[in-house]
């Protein structure tokens, strides 16, 4: 846990993927945060980010460490969840052609819908509920959300797919906000968790951010 971190902050699942980058963004919006490696690390959290990575590997690790059951239990007790890229796949109720894993939000996802790693790309888009200005988006072997249930709110639709959606307790994005200078989605999720944040609802671009900013925390996160 961060020095002086208070219960009620946001954890980041620390098994694979962009863990430090998410921790860095949360610190930049003034939210207490800690990596989550064990079920005990979930205690007292208001929210948990399940980061990108490789969804099959993450599902196996979650099962091995008993975190799948712990996350379901914490969710039943009020924990808010945000899945980015592979995290969105793990949270989806339906995964096209595959068996769903946690199945906690009523969406269908199509895995690796854009192709291989070489087909990764960046673009900008406006998500009015999240920020007043267009937000930079980074897609890396991203899935597509191809269906959203009646109780799921679409936050961002692009071309023939949904890129961001939520229900009352879960946020999903198929892109990686933690790999851009935008803090908008991290502020949005923190507020969804009932936490106070610094900054306003513009695109949330941090002028001090660089792609290596997270390394200043990596030795003691």
Question: Is 176 one of the annotated active-site residues of the chain?
Answer: yes
**Set 21, 22, 25, 85: catalytic member:** 85
* Marked catalytic residue, from 22, 166, 178, 193: 178
Longest dimension (CA), the chain: 45
| CA-CA-CA-CA torsion sign (66, 67, 69, 70) | positive
The sign of the CA dihedral 40, 41, 46, 49 is negative
Angle between helical axes of 19-28 and 184-192 (0-180°, round to 10): 80
Residue 86: its H or E element: helix 86-91
Q: Of 55, 4, 61, which Cα lies nearest the Cα of 36?
A: 61
**Distance between CA atoms of residues 221 and 209, nearest Å:** 18
Rounded distance, CA 92 to CA 190, Å?
A: 21
Phi, psi of 144 (to 5 degrees): -120, 140
Task: From the candidates 22, 25, 176, 186, give the one annotated as an active-site residue.
Answer: 176
Q: Which residues are catalytic?
A: 85, 176, 178
């Amino acid at each position: 846990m961060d020095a002086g971190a208070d219960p009620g902050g946001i954890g980041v699942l620390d098994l694979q993927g962009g863990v430090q980058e998410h921790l860095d963004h949360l610190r930049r919006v003034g939210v207490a945060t800690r990596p989550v490696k064990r079920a005990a690390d979930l205690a007292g959290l208001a929210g948990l980010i399940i980061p990108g990575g490789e969804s099959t590997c993450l599902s196996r690790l979650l099962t091995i460490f008993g975190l799948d059951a712990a996350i379901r239990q914490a969710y039943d007790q009020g924990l808010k969840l945000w899945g980015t890229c592979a995290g969105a796949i793990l949270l989806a109720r339906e995964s096209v052609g595959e068996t769903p894993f946690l199945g906690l939000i009523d969406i269908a996802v199509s895995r690796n819908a854009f192709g291989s790693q070489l087909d990764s790309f960046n673009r900008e888009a406006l998500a009015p509920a999240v920020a007043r200005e267009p937000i930079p988006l980074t897609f890396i072997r991203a899935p597509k959300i191809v269906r959203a249930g009646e109780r799921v709110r679409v936050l961002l639709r692009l071309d023939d797919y949904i890129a961001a959606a939520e229900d009352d307790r879960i946020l999903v994005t198929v892109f990686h906000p933690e790999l851009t200078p935008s803090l908008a989605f991290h502020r949005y999720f923190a507020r969804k968790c009932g936490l106070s944040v610094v900054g306003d609802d513009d695109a949330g671009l941090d002028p001090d951010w660089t792609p290596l900013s997270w390394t200043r925390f990596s030795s003691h996160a």
